Every structure is written in structure tokens, then in C-alpha cells.
Structure 1
Amino acid sequence: MFMRFFTEIQIPEFPDQMDYSKSMMFLGSCFSENIGQKLIDLKFDVDMNPFGILYNPESIANSLRILLEKRVFTEDDLFQDQGLWNSFYHHSRFSDVDRDSALEKINKRISSSNEFLKRADFLVITFGTAWVYELRKTGQIVSNCHKIPAAEFKRFRLGVFEVTNVYRELLEQIWKFNPDLKVIFTVSPIRHWKDGAIENQLSKATLLLAIDNLIKGFGDKSCSYFPSYEIVMDELRDYRFYADDMLHISPVAVDYIFERFSKAAITGASRDISKSMLKINKAMSHRPVNPNTTEFKKFLEQTLALINRMSEQFPIVNLNAERNYFEQELEKL
């Protein structure tokens, strides 16, 4: 009898799957960054975190509302601290020493992501924590505290029905904006240890229950859930799958979760294309000890031939940058 040495999460294929002809927006915590970046590297059409990394459901909801209305940020929406202009709606990657430059980055991204969301086929939302920070002087739940003293914020945990009600209304607005959009929810497997061990579990439970309410309410044809949290807790429950801080997950764990995500959410044909794309990516990162060899020239020619075959077979995948790279490498020899 075959013995299983771990508890495997059963993940059925999604009724609607991603492929190279589809567009996907990823919003939320580090899981969105990890999975979204892998898809970008494989040349899928992805818009990833147009406000930067977001952790709580309210901040993600605020970001989606801003995209829907295509809001234009002004200087009144920014504040200066320690030489940087920041937005409480944005990650620090949008901060800048120059106020106009910060506004330009913010507004350009809102404009392009509004257009992307309008035509997107999938929206993947990753909740990280139900704990939020509310700026005392304005009552705004912030996306990023930007190292402002903790005394200026009120910290509390959102409730299950609070999150459910916010997203019930928000998703209806989104589907008026883009009726064909499919929504996939996930909960980040990364523990927010600063919240406390028990508080973290209560937070994750809140998020899971809210998502369950939404899927039951709207139906699994409109909303789906991918169990990234459960995969780490049950299949990868060993510290060898964690980074040095014992909280974030390791690259091996990210690769494993992405593999499970791909099998559930991406068509078999597109997974086959992505395997060839992965070969091209590895070839681009290859650095020979001595480039002036016939073997390296042959390697470049074979990779260029693969790119040309893929371009002919799958014209939807833009490989111009990769083709130019290998043509230039051949010209150097």
C-alpha cells in the first residue's frame, strides 16, 4: 500500500483558467508579489500591486475604489516625513524626495491600472492580516504607516462581517465596471508575528471566514479561493520551507505554491508554453566562463531558434526583448 508522508491539500481545477491570452491583476500582500512576478517573468499579461504591497482588506478595497474612479492624487494627498513625500494609500516604493515626482508615479500608475482592470480577466486578491492602523487625526485606515510613530494610530482588528459587507458592495461595483472579471481570493501564508501568535491566528480566521461568506454569497462561478495558507500550514509544515526569520517562506516554498497554483488556475497548454519560457529565462541568466567558444555560440543559436519557433507558434507571447538579447550576444562573438 502506498504511504503518504504529508497531508495533501486537494485543489480542484478552477472552472475558468488563466492562459496567455488573458490579463490578470494581482493585489495584496507578499503572495501577490511572489506569484505575480513569476507570471510576469513567464510573459503573462499581469498588472501587479499598482499601490505596492498591501496587507489588510480595507486598504485593498480602498485601492480598488481609487482605480474604479480613476482618482487623481494632488499635493493634499501627500505628506512629508524625513525628507520624503509619501501617500498613506501607497507603499514606500511610490515615495520620493520630490513631491511632483511622487505624484507623477502615483497618477500614472492609477491611470494605467484603471485601463488594465477594465479589460482584465482575473483579479487575484491576497489578504495578509485583518489588523489595521487608523490614523487618529483623520480616521483613515492606512496602507502603510511609513514609520510614523505608533501613537498617531489606532490599531484594531476588522470583523468577519465588516470585511464581508465591504467586499459584497465593492465586488458588485467592480462587476459593473468589468462584468466578465473572475475574482480569486487567497490568504497569505506569512504569519504576522508582531501581532502575536494568537492574534495572528484570529486574524487569519477572520479573513478565511469573510472569503467563505463571499464565495457562498456570489457563487464559485464568480469567486474562487486558492489555499496558499493551507498549503504552507499542512503540506509544508517544516521550518526548512521558511526563510531565516522563520516567518517568511523560502524560495523553494514559493516555487511549490506556484506549481500548485499553476495546475489549478492555468490551462495545460499555457503551462507547456511557460516551460519553454522558463528555458529561455534560464538561458538569459547563463554566464559562460569563456564566451569565445563554439559550444557557447551553439548554445546562443539554439536558444535563438527556440525563441523564433515560439514566436511562430505563439505570436501572442512577445519575445522581442529576448530575441534582441541573443542576437546581440551572437554579434559580440
Structure 2
Amino acid sequence: MHFTTPVELSKGLPSITHAQQLLLMGSCFAENIGTLLKDNSFHCDVNPFGILYNPFSISEALKEILAGKQYTEDDLFFFRDCWHSPMHHGMFSAASVDEVLRQINDRLLQAHDRMEHTDWLLLTWGTAYVYQQKDTGRIVSNCHKQPEGSFSRRMLAVDEIVREYTLLLEELRKRNSGLKVLFTVSPIRHIRDGLHANQLSKATLLLAIEQLQTAFPDFVFYFPSYEIVLDELRDYRFYTDDMLHPSPVAIRYLWERFSEVFFSDETKKIMEECESIRKALAHRPFHPDSEEHKRFLGQIVLKIERLNGKYPYLEFE
């Protein structure tokens, strides 16, 4: 007897390894997976613009990374005692314009420098709804709590998403012939859109990705995180208290399913050793100045050195 309806995962997809460079962009689900990848010593750059939700904001951010854009004060606006970028998450906002520009430009430069060496681009779309500034028509990534009357809200059409990403993917591939792109749709429900509208939004994203996969079958792939949560974890106990975001248990389950598809046996073995080191480093001693604890730390250092000797590309924070 089966108590779930398992989602069939694609077979024979390219592997993700510790030797590769990864760039993750999109909703907070990208942050969740990015954190787990970093914890397991993968080379990751996660959300250089902060959390982004809609396909057009992610596309615009990627274009700015490719162009090596550097922000100036003209790209920002002042509201409620802080400077903000309409392209960036509120984590970049600050009372000082110089501080905002420093944070934004540092992250942009870092992402630009790594872009041509990136092996995997993992994009998580959250919603097909966008907010456009009424005075400019520009789609913003974040409204930063400005009055709703300043924006018009609409849902992107499948065709316009496909057109936008067809051009973008062609440009990305032209600059980096070895790049592979993995799309996923966030399982987080956007309740503000309404439950029916949220389903229409997710369906729009899924249809757009399907068309992009058909157009670029050699380097565009899909991981069904949305379907796994809806069909394999069909219970509110797998959500946080807001009943919208997947719980830590659900995220861990998605990570296990992700690992099934993209990690080789060797990669999983490296991850086990990294996990052992991470748990040891997280240990809080009762007597941190004792000789016993110093010997314990020395053993961890030796373990890291041995692992780095075998796999010199590993990253330990």
C-alpha cells in the first residue's frame, strides 16, 4: 500500500559536482537550496540581488550581471528614511546612499566576475505576477512598501516570458558555451494573489519552462520542487506556521530528492565528509581553552587538510 503519489524524476541529467561554479537566483526557495549547497561546500553565489520572485526581474538582474553594470545614486530612490533600489531586495536598503551603492556594486562585481566560469545557473520562479511603475512602465523587483497606487499589477503571459528568456538564454550560451540552466518553480504559495490566481500563476510559469525546455533541450532542465511538495508532501504539517512556506522538514526532503537526481555517489561521499566536519565545528565546548579542545580542533584541521588535498576545489567557511 502506498500513502503518497511519488513524482517521477528525470533520469540521466548532468551531474552537479563540487568542482563546478553555481549561481542561484530567484525566490526564497533558491535561498533554501543555496544554503544547503553552501553547507556542503559547493561553490555557490546565491541571489546577488537578494530574493527575486518574477521571471522578468530575474532576467533583468542577469542582464545587469552580464553587462557588469555599476549602480549610481540615479538608480536609487529615497523613501521612509532609507535609500532603495527597485531592482533589489530590502536587505540592500540603508540610510546611507554610499552604503547601498557599496553593497549593490560589490555583489554585482562578484557575480559578473564569476559569470563566464559558471557551470550551472539555477533559477527559481515564484510568481508570474509583476508590479509596474505607472510613471515609467518599468517592472520592479521590490516595491519597498511604496503606495500601491504608484504601481499597476498584472500577470505575465506565457508567450512574453518565453520570448524574454529565449533571447536571454541564447546570449548566456553564446558567452558561456558550457553553461547549463536548471529551472524550478517555488512551492511557496502566494496567498496575496488569491488561491485560484496563485494556481494560474504557477501554471503560467510551468508552461513557459516547458516551452523553453523544448527550445533548448541540450542545456535547459527542470526540477519539480513545486510538484513534490503538492503531491508527495500533501499535508499542512509540511508547512510553517503561515501555511504558505515549506517547513524545514519539507526543505530537507526536497534536498534529498534533488540529491537523487544531480549528485553522483562520489559527490554524496564528499558531502558526508563535509557534514562530519561541519557538525564537529558546530560543537560548543564547556572548556574552550582546555588542551583537550585544542587537540579536538587540531583533528578537525587535519581532516579538512586531508579532504582539501584530495579535492582542492572544496570550500570551507
Q: What TM-score range do you get, normalising by the shorter chain?
A: over 0.9
Instruction: Determine the structure 2 residue equivalent to 1:243.
Output: 240
Deviation per CA, 1:7-32, whole angstroms, max 9, x where unpaired? Answer: 11121345321111100100100111
Q: Alignment partner for residue 36 of structure 2, among 28, 31, 38?
A: 38
Instruction: Determine the structure 2 residue equivalent to 1:233.
Output: 230
Q: Which deviates the most, 11-20 or 145-154?
A: 11-20
Partner of 1:248, secondary structure, is coil
Structure 1 residues 275, 64: CA separation in 2 closer, same or farther (over 3 Å shift)? same
Aligned residues: 317
Structure 1 residues 63, 14: CA separation in 2 closer, same or farther (over 3 Å shift)? farther
**Contact between 1:85 and 1:96, CA under 8 Å: does it hold in 2?**
yes
Partner of 2:139, secondary structure, is coil
Instruction: Determine the structure 1 residue equivalent to 2:6.
Output: 8
User: 1: distance between equivalents of 2:40 and 2:8?
Assistant: 26
**Contact between 2:13 and 2:261, CA under 8 Å: does it hold in 1?**
no
User: 2: distance between equivalents of 1:301 and 1:75?
Assistant: 48
1:189-228, aligned counterparts within 5 Å?
189-219=187-217, 221-228=218-225
TM-score (norm 2): 0.95
Instruction: Determine the structure 2 residue equivalent to 1:179.
Output: 177
Q: Alignment partner for residue 254 of structure 1, among 226, 251, 256?
A: 251
- The reply on whether 1:303 has 2:300 as its aligned counterpart is yes
**Contact between 1:13 and 1:265, CA under 8 Å: does it hold in 2?**
no
Instruction: Determine the structure 2 residue equivalent to 1:142.
Output: 140
Give the deviation of 1:97 after TM superposition: 1.0
Partner of 1:119, secondary structure, is coil
1:1-333, aligned counterparts within 5 Å?
3-219=1-217, 221-290=218-287, 299-319=296-316
Give the deviation of 1:300 after TM superposition: 3.9
Partner of 1:88, secondary structure, is coil
**Contact between 1:14 and 1:224, CA under 8 Å: does it hold in 2?**
no
State percent identity of aligned pairs.
Answer: 47
Alignment-mate amino acid for residue 281 of structure 1: R
Deviation per CA, 1:9-56, whole angstroms, max 9, x where unpaired? Answer: 121345321111100100100111000111112211111111000000
CA RMSD of aligned residues (A): 1.7
Give the deviation of 1:234 after TM superposition: 0.6
Deviation per CA, 1:68-126, whole angstroms, max 9, x where unpaired? Answer: 11112111110001111100001111112111221121122112101211110000010
**Contact between 2:43 and 2:314, CA under 8 Å: does it hold in 1?**
no
Give the deviation of 1:297 after TM superposition: 6.0
User: 2: distance between equivalents of 1:142 and 1:90?
Assistant: 9
Structure 1 residues 290, 61: CA separation in 2 closer, same or farther (over 3 Å shift)? same
User: 1: distance between equivalents of 2:100 and 2:298?
Assistant: 43
Give the deviation of 1:266 after TM superposition: 2.3
User: 2: distance between equivalents of 1:164 and 1:227?
Assistant: 19
**Contact between 2:22 and 2:120, CA under 8 Å: does it hold in 1?**
yes
User: 2: distance between equivalents of 1:110 and 1:302?
Assistant: 38
Instruction: Determine the structure 2 residue equivalent to 1:331.
Output: none
User: 2: distance between equivalents of 1:174 and 1:75?
Assistant: 28
User: 2: distance between equivalents of 1:120 and 1:268?
Assistant: 23
Runs of 5+ unmatched residues, structure 1: 322-333
User: 1: distance between equivalents of 2:157 and 2:96?
Assistant: 38
Structure 1 residues 318, 159: CA separation in 2 closer, same or farther (over 3 Å shift)? closer
TM-score (norm 1): 0.91
User: 2: distance between equivalents of 1:294 and 1:95?
Assistant: 45
User: 1: distance between equivalents of 2:283 and 2:47?
Assistant: 29
Alignment-mate amino acid for residue 81 of structure 1: F
